[in-house]
A and B are shown apart, each in its own frame.
Chain A
């Protein structure tokens, strides 16, 4: 308060600057962790590429070619220097540029995650809001039960159950995904349906529960009670008095849901053999293809950190307390 005379507080600008800096630091730390993590795995790229019958001499030669004989720290620094210039190196397994391997897969993953979010968010948030408004009703109890059920169920199991019922038994959808861009709209709608349904089922439980809690805490506040005493109708209380205040938690929840969706996408891609970034990363770990794993890790971390940042920023922007500085509080 004392500082306001000399220094105009700019809470949002300060927030953006500090979060961008801490986000970049986190990204660098994450790349280091992934690097060390991959190095700790038994075996290396050379072994994975040449197979079990490789001669020690051939292994040695390949290691030298790939630069694997250098110390770990030096390899990391070389990689980091390249990454800072936008050069993520070449895939150790295929010899192609990492960006060339990554980009088509990234597009596929974004398509899957985007389609998932389009269905997941309205269903989960709408369900959560209705469960809170009708607290204690049969709807609320049903939502509570299904949420617990799907929270307790591993993601891959949901995928396999869907495949068993709709692909194997009924034959309505393919069980395996081929590149979705190959044949027209109808073809990729068919491919995407089961993975998207899986994502919605897995993701909704958490989001719905969080939304319900956020709305309930707003409904329990004194200003909602005050509106009730003023004789405001239930409908107006919910739409005008409660929901705007629940907006910032709901925004945070939505964006974090998208971040979690990215994690679920990895699992679902494996289950449906969907050619996305997640499947690429898991396959690359099997090949000890360090550069690709590293780039995938970086991308996932980037998405996660950006989403968290956006969640907090939007929450700030919709909250008058953060947007409008307190002034002349004492008079």
Chain B
């Protein structure tokens, strides 16, 4: 009994009508990091909540048990449950910004339990907090706790939350996608710290993520969750090197494919940007930008959040004020704002947004959504339009019956396909894709990428693909442009940027992108 920190047996949880979790069994031993991987809707969060004895409103347990430090959590009285949570378990959530109370200083929140459980004085709590902040390498640890949550960065908040989780010396820590909202370089720092503090303390932990590479670097054992059921479970190396279930094999294959694209024939630039500066209001968010999009090539624009990727893409699309420089399309100069571009130019430059939910009018049917550019740019109406609509839907691999549906009844991946169909309806020369797969699960992302690649083969398209995911870029970029703080740091053919990056920042980005290979994280400790 005592050898397990957590034992979950045959756990089943149902919402009103649907089953959320079914037949979940696993255990966590002291000193072990147990990884749980799954796509959105797999039941990861419900499982994480259940391990601290919490069921969301409307959910109920229909079978099984959750035993934490020998206590059956879902059968405890409210007072016993609260005491167990205070003493035995901690939780690190994805959105640190939302999980800290905006009203109190960080130190107060991090050490709240020390005051409640141990009756520590203010001075003792400050010392306790400073020690933890120092261990998590936060700047100025003595005074870090005096800050309010809105005064520190996302990566720092995430580390403060880990400090809070360590405070009560728990037997189990649950990490629920703690690095998903962070940039790769920040993610690496946080992963290193998690590894260090968890292994140093010998407590058990659960690490939940949708990113197999991250989990493979941290976890001793991994469980693959899908549709609320366990697909496969085993030691991390076995699972990655010899996956049994088809779904696991797909996940692993998705990480390992390195189908580098053959260098395409040299071609003339279709869009060229010279010494461009642009931004919102009077402040230039990007400057000194010079860039060519070669006709028929895929150019990937990479960089961390705030680097100016989207601003550059939106400037080319004519949605941001041009402050300096020249934009050329097929050799002729392009007006800065889209309102001053002629209809033909607009048709030739199409833009696909990151979040299809925001880019699609929820009240319009797919026929209206895709039919509008057909009518506007191609003048197609009636039977001709209907014929083209069906063709476009086939092109993006959606059934024709979707024409009469509204976006709300489609999945995330399907909605993004509708957005692609809408862009294609204009028969553009240049397609600007702004993080179009960032909100999608890995396998769905993969299918959308494959679709884009096939479309590229079938017609003369040039693509500017913006992403923060370097692993993705590696698989299909012809050219890579790296941005940092509003400037281009490095640009060149993908093969040379990836194999021999010239700039330190590019090297750091590449180095920080998690891989599945054994010892990747250890090499960076």
A-side residues, CB < 8 A to B, are 2, 221-223, 225-234, 236, 241, 244-245, 319-321, 324, 326-331
Interface SS of A by simple majority:
helix
Q: In chain B between 81 and 118, which residues have their CB closer than 8 angstroms to a CB of chain A? A: 81-87, 90-91, 93, 95, 98-104, 112-113, 116
Contacts of B101 in A (CB 8 A): 223, 227, 241, 245
Most central of A2, A222, A329 by chain B CB within 10 Å: A222
- Evaluate contact between A329 and B151: CB separation under 8 angstroms: yes
Partner of B151 from the list A226, A236, A327 (CB cut-off 8 Å) is A327
Say whether B153 contacts A231, CB under 8 Å.
Answer: no
Is the Cβ of B153 less than 8 Å from the Cβ of A223?
no
Residue of A nearest to B161 (CB): A226
- Would you call A223 and B99 a contact (CB within 8 A)? yes
Q: How far is the CB of A278 from chain B (nearest CB, A)?
A: 40
Write out the residue numbers on chain B whose beta carbons fall within 8 Å of the beta carbon of A321: 102, 148, 150
Distance in angstroms from A248 CB to nearest chain B CB is 10
Of the A-B pairs whose beta carbons lie under 8 Å apart in the complex, a sample of 9, sorted by A's number, is A229-B54, A229-B91, A230-B91, A231-B82, A231-B86, A232-B112, A241-B101, A245-B101, A320-B150
Q: How many residues on chain B are close to A (CB under 8 Å)? A: 33
Contacts between chains A and B (CB distance < 8 A), count: 74
**Contact partner of B85 among A230, A236, A324, CB < 8 A?**
A230
How far does the alpha carbon of A68 sit from the alpha carbon of B186 in the complex, in Å?
75
Contact of B283 among A2, A233, A328 (CB under 8 A): A2
Interface pair A331/B86, CB less than 8 Å apart: no
| Cβ-defined partner of B153 (8 Å) among A222, A227, A329 | A329
B152 contacts the other chain (Cβ, under 8 Å)?
Answer: yes
Q: Let me know if B91 and A244 touch, CB within 8 A.
A: no
* Contact, CB under 8 Å: B91 / A231: no
Given the known interface contacts A320-B150, A330-B153, the answer about A221 and B98 at a Cβ–Cβ threshold of 8 Å is yes
Q: Which of B61-97 contact A (CB under 8 A)?
A: 78, 81-87, 90-91, 93, 95
Least Cβ–Cβ distance between B159 and chain A, in angstroms: 11
Q: Please, which residue of chain B has its CB at the minimum distance from the CB of A227? A: B101
- In the complex where A221-B98, A320-B103 touch, is A230 in contact with B113 (Cβ < 8 A)? yes
Kindly list chain A residues whose C-beta atoms are within 8 Å of the C-beta of B87: 231
A245 vs B139: C-alpha distance in the bound complex, in angstroms?
A: 28
Residue with the greatest number of chain A CB neighbours at <10 A, chosen from B54, B103, B112: B103
B322-367 residues at the A interface, CB under 8 angstroms: none
Which of B52, B150, B152, B156 has the most CB atoms of chain A within a 10 A radius of its CB?
Answer: B150
Closest to A325 in B: B151
Asked whether A223 lies within 8 Å of B100 as measured between CB atoms, the reply is yes
A330–B155 CA distance with the chains assembled, in angstroms: 9
How close is A188's CB to chain B, nearest CB, in angstroms? 42
Please name the residue on chain B nearest to A223 by beta carbon. Answer: B101
**In whole Å, how far is A141's beta carbon from the nearest beta carbon of chain B?**
17
- The distance from the CB of B471 to the nearest CB of chain A, in whole angstroms, is 25
Closest to A229 in B: B91
Query: What's the nearest-Cβ distance from chain B to residue A232, in Å?
Result: 7
When distances are taken between beta carbons in the complex, the residues of chain A under 8 Å from B104 are: 244
In the complex, are the beta carbons of B99 and A226 less than 8 A apart? yes
Going nearest first, the 6 A-B pairs with the smallest beta carbon separation are A231-B85, A231-B86, A222-B98, A223-B101, A231-B82, A226-B99
Q: Are A231 and B113 in contact (CB under 8 A)?
A: yes
Complex Cα gap A11–B274 (Å):
39
- Which A residues are in CB contact (< 8 Å) with B82? 231-233
Closest to B283 in A: A2
Are B148 and A231 in contact (CB-based, < 8 A)?
no
Contact B103 A324 (CB under 8 A): no
Please give, as numbers and ranges, the residues of chain A lying within 8 Å of B164 by CB-CB distance: 230
